[in-house]
Amino acid sequence: MTDQVQFYGQSFDSRFLIGSALYPSPAVMADAVQASGSQIITVSLRRQAPEQQAGKTFWDFIQELGCTLLPNTAGCHSAKEAVTLAQMSRDLFETDWVKLEVIGDEYNLQPDPFGLVDAARTLIDDGFKVFPYCTDDLVLCQKLLDVGCEVLMPWGSPIGTGKGLMNPYALTMIRERLPGIPLVVDAGIGLPSHACQAMELGYDAVLLNTAVAEAQNPAVMASAFKQAIEAGRSGYLAGHVPERQTAKPSTPTLGMPFWHQDHG
């Protein structure tokens, strides 16, 4: 049986969600998305609206990829602004999916937890299927579930830093306390090993953009991330050995022959 991931009732074979920004050209972006095997791609109304002439070529490439679109509210600093942009995106991209971003701090682009919950509540009441980009705060995650979110996207570290999972303990607690909830690590992933670690913690998917788009060879890096995500998922499903404080020999001594030198 295929190990699929489900988001709001839709099933996907790939657990790699990929962003469409920052690439040197639409063609490079398309090659990277194809190499990633991703079936979900994030798009921003602010940066790449298809009705704008400058975004026409980009939009043509997006459509040819055949991926499920996940519009985002990147750049919004208030709940009202995010809701308005989400509603515009629904009309333009013809989807009720939205990656909800409400930024609270301009320096590290940390989500505003209060604005995020307010916007999520409003959008869910309006029929949206919300994918909230949030911090690794368990209480915030629970509040987002309370207002109706069915998927959570906690960060690994601030957007674009490439620092990987800065707080594995917090991410582990979210996974353990919220069993059965689809969880996606979003932001801060810089290396394939970071994505593998997220999957080994039991997360359902990884979303990233910068690490692929700004690589010297985006398509090759996308392929590397694809393999790392698959490896991490397999490692999680296999079940890892527990950590120990003391060494344990991998070769047992019981029943082994004892050799000694006969000095005659």
* pLDDT tier at 261, thresholds 50, 70, 90: low
- The percent of residues above 70 in pLDDT, for the chain, comes to 89
Residue 172 has pLDDT above 60, yes or no: yes
| Beta carbons within 10 angstroms of residue 169's beta carbon | 9
255 in any annotated domain:
no
Instruction: Indicate whether 18 belongs to any domain.
Output: yes
- For residue 260, pLDDT over 90 is answered with no
- Is 134 part of a structural domain of the chain? yes
Binding-site annotation, residues for 1-deoxy-D-xylulose 5-phosphate: 160, 187-188, 209-210
Supply the CATH number for residue 117's domain: 3.20.20.70
Q: How confident is the model at residue 242 (pLDDT cuts 50, 70, 90)?
A: confident
More reliable by pLDDT, 259 or 65: 65
Contacts of 141 (CB under 8 A, 6+ apart): 134, 152, 154, 174, 178
Q: How far is CA 103 from the centre of its chain?
A: 17
Catalytic residue among 56, 80, 99, 226: 99
- Residue 30 in any domain: the answer is yes
Annotation: binding site: 160, 187-188, 209-210
5 is a domain residue: no
Within-domain flag for 107: yes
Spatial CA neighbour of 9 closest among 205, 175, 150: 150
Residue 243 falls inside a structural domain: no
pTM (2 d.p.): 0.87
99 a catalytic residue: yes
**Count of the separate structural domains present in the chain:** 1
Q: Which residues contact 185 (CB under 8 A, 6 or more apart)?
A: 153, 154, 155, 156, 165, 171, 195, 198, 203, 205, 206, 207
In a domain, 159, yes or no: yes
8 A C-beta contact, residue 4 and residue 191 = no
- Identify the domain containing residue 23 by its residue range: 11-47+56-238
Contact 92, 48 (CB under 8 A): no
Q: What is the mean pLDDT of residues 24-51?
A: 84
